[in-house]
Amino acid sequence: MSKIPVTLAGAELLKAELHKLKTAERPNVIVAIAEARAQGDISENAEYEAARERQGFIEGRIIELEAKLSNCQVVDPALLDDDGRVVFGSTVELMDTSGTATETYQIVGEDEADIKLGKISYSSPIAKALIGKYAGDVSEVRTPGGVKEFEIVDVKYQ
């Protein structure tokens, strides 16, 4: 199985979520199951069923996070210097060639992508069109609204 790229910040978020699940969520759900059991017949106990379902979700997420962390390649954008070339982890300032609007995106792993925060997945159409290009290049991106052209104004590694 190939390594999955993730930024340093993304890896820290995954580790923090895993820690929270193991140290807070898991013990809390165990207590909730014990309390629901103490109420009597568990065959018709909705609280018990809900707690068991929550436990299943937590255990599944722990397994998923541990697998991701063991199979990820952490990239620190601050250590990159690709002479203005767009790579995983870089922050790219784009200008729509049809207008004057500029947008800034950081190319990140799939788990840390959040368009509201300006973070796009390396597997997104925009990122695929930008990776390998340099500041000053124009890139065409297929969007649901049609093909758009973006000029790469600046590339930062932070």
Q: Which residues of the chain, if any, have pLDDT below 70?
A: 1
User: Which residues, other chains included, contact 86 with Cβ-Cβ below 8 Å and sequence gap of 6+?
Assistant: 92, 107, 130, 131, 132, 133, 134, 152, 155
Task: Please calculate the CA angle 145-90-11 and round it to the nearest 5 degrees.
Answer: 105
pLDDT in tens, 79-97: 877 778 899 999 999 998 8
pLDDT at 1: 56
- H or E element in which residue 31 lies: helix 26-38
Domain ranges of the chain: 4-74, 77-156
pLDDT at 145: 80
CATH domain 4-74 topology? Helix Hairpins (1.10.287)
pLDDT at 109: 92
pLDDT at 114: 92
Decide whether 4-74 matches 77-156 in CATH topology.
Answer: no
Q: Architecture of domain 77-156 in CATH?
A: Roll (3.10)
pLDDT at 148: 85
Are 7 and 74 spatial neighbours (Cβ–Cβ below 8 Å)?
yes
pLDDT at 83: 79
- What is the value of pTM for the model shown? 0.80
pLDDT at 84: 81
